[in-house]
């Protein structure tokens, strides 16, 4: 099916969504979607009968079935306009094959922590690869499964989307609006860059957190009070180590090369600290600590932008592949947060891309990079009251 028509308000919406994998992320997406729009119909698919039962009991899915249930195929073929794969990479392969077999014509996205292998597979098997947009919500909890799901899990979190030159721009705009409607902040990344970036900010930190817990655990038998003393900063820095071992093992091997490289760099950095200590180099150790402290302090205390100071960027564009992916990736690269995307189709071969930005990032660099990429750009201030999609 094609995506739902726009309601009278002008706001895009997906009327029927199939969420495959109803654990923490999948169930939280369902909760957040229903909180934003209770009229959306949601089909939950999970290999656990218990998860399906809980989904129905909690009323976060109108239909909840096992993967082999005929209702899954019927919903996809007759009703769904969006399918979200919230499963491990190995399982995603199976479901992409089913969606291809069923000739699904709606939008497909995922929540996987890695993109290289699944994107390659999607290009190979899907009849409409331009309708697959890889995604990755940067949110989680130490409580796994549907029991840990929350409607506010994505509020203020970054949600990576990876459009490419083949991506349908209108579908990308629709998905972007759905994600921002859940309270998340969209970051556009090229698929080729995703896995290396996530290895540094997510996968390496998970291994490091697990290593810290192992270190404390090894000494706990010698000093039985040690784990009771491990509070505050230790608990904060190792919270992610409580994640599912099976899930993280799969993620680690799927991103093996980038993760291994990141861990090698981490070893080199730790070695610098050790070398300073062994050499009695106080100045060197102070310099290493100061560099880290400066970078850490430069991070904003919150990621909530002012909605009173908005900026509209209008970009005339011709009908050529990858325009929306290119523009949104440039915006993300200079730290600009896109609140909403509109595409005004002027003719069959031309349109005006309108981006509404919050008060973040380097607008000067954005302008320079867009012009350098060959785009004509105009900027105009926009108040929140003028922008009907805010909120």
- Is there a contact between 253 and 88 (Cβ–Cβ < 8 Å)? no
Q: What does the angle CA 168 – CA 181 – CA 16 come to, to the nearest 5 degrees?
A: 65
pLDDT value of position 143: 75
CA distance 167 to 325: 7
Asked whether residue 21 is assigned to any structural domain, the reply reads yes
Please tell me whether residues 238 and 326 are part of one structural domain.
no
Burial of 102 (0-12, 13-18, 19+ CB in 10 A): middle
Asked whether residue 218 is assigned to any structural domain, the reply reads yes
Sign of CA dihedral 125, 130, 132, 133: positive
Average pLDDT of the chain to the nearest whole number: 87
Q: Which residues pair with 63 in a beta bridge?
A: 43
Asked whether residue 11 is assigned to any structural domain, the reply reads no
Please tell me whether residues 94 and 184 are part of one structural domain.
yes
Domain boundary pick from 150, 169, 189: 189
The CATH number assigned to the domain holding 224 equals 1.10.3660.10
Please tell me whether residues 89 and 161 are part of one structural domain.
yes
Percent of the residues in the chain that have a pLDDT greater than 70, as a whole number = 89
Q: Number of folded domains in the chain?
A: 3
Please say if the pLDDT value at position 216 is more than 50: yes
Asked whether residue 3 is assigned to any structural domain, the reply reads no
Asked whether residue 239 is assigned to any structural domain, the reply reads yes
CA distance 64 to 51: 8
Confidence of residue 11 (pLDDT cuts 50, 70, 90): very low
CA distance 170 to 204: 35
Please tell me whether residues 239 and 361 are part of one structural domain.
no
Please tell me whether residues 162 and 289 are part of one structural domain.
no
Please tell me whether residues 112 and 176 are part of one structural domain.
yes
Please tell me whether residues 131 and 212 are part of one structural domain.
no
pLDDT value of position 106: 95
Asked whether residue 183 is assigned to any structural domain, the reply reads yes
CA distance 369 to 373: 6
Of 15-19, 115-119, 158-162, 176-180, minimum mean pLDDT range: 115-119
Please tell me whether residues 217 and 140 are part of one structural domain.
no
Domain boundary pick from 243, 270, 298: 298
The CATH number assigned to the domain holding 30 equals 3.40.50.720
Look at the chain and count its residues: 391
Q: What does the angle CA 304 – CA 154 – CA 195 come to, to the nearest 5 degrees?
A: 100
Asked whether residue 20 is assigned to any structural domain, the reply reads yes
Asked whether residue 247 is assigned to any structural domain, the reply reads yes
Please tell me whether residues 184 and 200 are part of one structural domain.
no
Confidence of residue 315 (pLDDT cuts 50, 70, 90): very high
Percent of the residues in the chain that have a pLDDT greater than 90, as a whole number = 61
Give tens-digit pLDDT for 347-391: 877 889 999 998 788 889 999 999 999 999 999 887 554 554 433
For range 184-209, the mean pLDDT: 91
Domain boundary pick from 147, 169, 189: 189
Please tell me whether residues 58 and 120 are part of one structural domain.
yes
Please say if the pLDDT value at position 226 is more than 90: no
Backbone angles phi, psi at 381, to 5 degrees: -65, 150
Please tell me whether residues 180 and 38 are part of one structural domain.
yes
Q: Which residues of 157-177 are buried (b: 16+ CB within 10 A; e: fewer)?
A: bbbbbbbbeebbbbbbbbbbb
pLDDT value of position 77: 96
Give tens-digit pLDDT for 66-85: 999 999 999 999 999 999 99
- Residue 113: closest CA among 237, 18, 248: 248
Please tell me whether residues 222 and 276 are part of one structural domain.
yes
Domain extent, residue 202, equals 195-298
pLDDT value of position 300: 63
pTM for this predicted structure? 0.83
The CATH number assigned to the domain holding 369 equals 3.30.2130.10
């Amino acid at each position: 099916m094609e995506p739902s028509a726009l309601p009278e308000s002008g706001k895009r919406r997906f009327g029927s969504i199939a969420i495959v994998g109803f654990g923490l992320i999948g169930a939280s997406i369902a909760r957040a979607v229903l909180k934003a729009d209770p009229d959306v119909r949601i089909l939950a698919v999970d290999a656990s009968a218990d998860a399906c039962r809980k989904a129905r009991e909690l009323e976060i899915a109108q239909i909840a079935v096992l993967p082999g249930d005929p209702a899954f195929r019927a919903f996809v073929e007759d009703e769904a306009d969006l399918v979200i794969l919230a499963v491990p990479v190995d399982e995603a392969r199976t479901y992409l094959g089913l969606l291809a077999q069923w000739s699904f014509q709606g939008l497909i996205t995922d929540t996987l922590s890695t993109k290289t292998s699944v994107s390659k597979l999607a290009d190979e098997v899907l009849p409409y690869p331009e309708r697959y947009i890889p995604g990755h919500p940067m949110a989680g909890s130490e409580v796994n499964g549907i029991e840990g799901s929350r409607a506010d899990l994505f509020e203020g979190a970054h949600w990576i989307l990876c459009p490419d030159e083949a991506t349908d721009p209108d579908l990308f705009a629709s998905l972007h609006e759905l994600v921002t409607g859940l309270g998340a902040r969209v970051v556009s990344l090229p698929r080729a860059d995703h896995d290396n970036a996530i290895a540094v900010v997510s996968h390496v930190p998970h291994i490091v957190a697990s290593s810290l817990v192992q270190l404390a655990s090894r000494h706990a038998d010698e000093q039985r009070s040690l784990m009771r003393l491990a509070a505050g900063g230790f608990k904060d820095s190792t919270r992610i180590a409580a994640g599912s071992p099976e899930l993280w093992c799969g993620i680690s091997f799927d991103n093996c090369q980038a993760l291994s490289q990141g861990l090698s760099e981490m070893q080199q950095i730790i070695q610098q600290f050790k070398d300073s200590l062994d050499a009695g180099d106080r100045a060197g150790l102070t310099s290493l600590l100061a560099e880290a402290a400066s970078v850490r302090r430069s991070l904003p205390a919150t990621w909530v932008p002012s909605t009173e100071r908005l900026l509209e960027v209008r970009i005339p564009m011709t009908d050529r592949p990858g325009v929306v992916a290119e523009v949104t990736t440039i915006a993300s690269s200079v730290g600009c947060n896109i609140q909403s995307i509109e595409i005004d189709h002027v003719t069959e071969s031309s349109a005006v891309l309108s981006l509404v930005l919050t008060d973040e990032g380097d607008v000067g660099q954005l302008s320079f990079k867009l012009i350098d990429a060959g785009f004509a750009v105009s900027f105009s201030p926009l108040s929140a009251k003028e922008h009907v999609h805010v909120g």
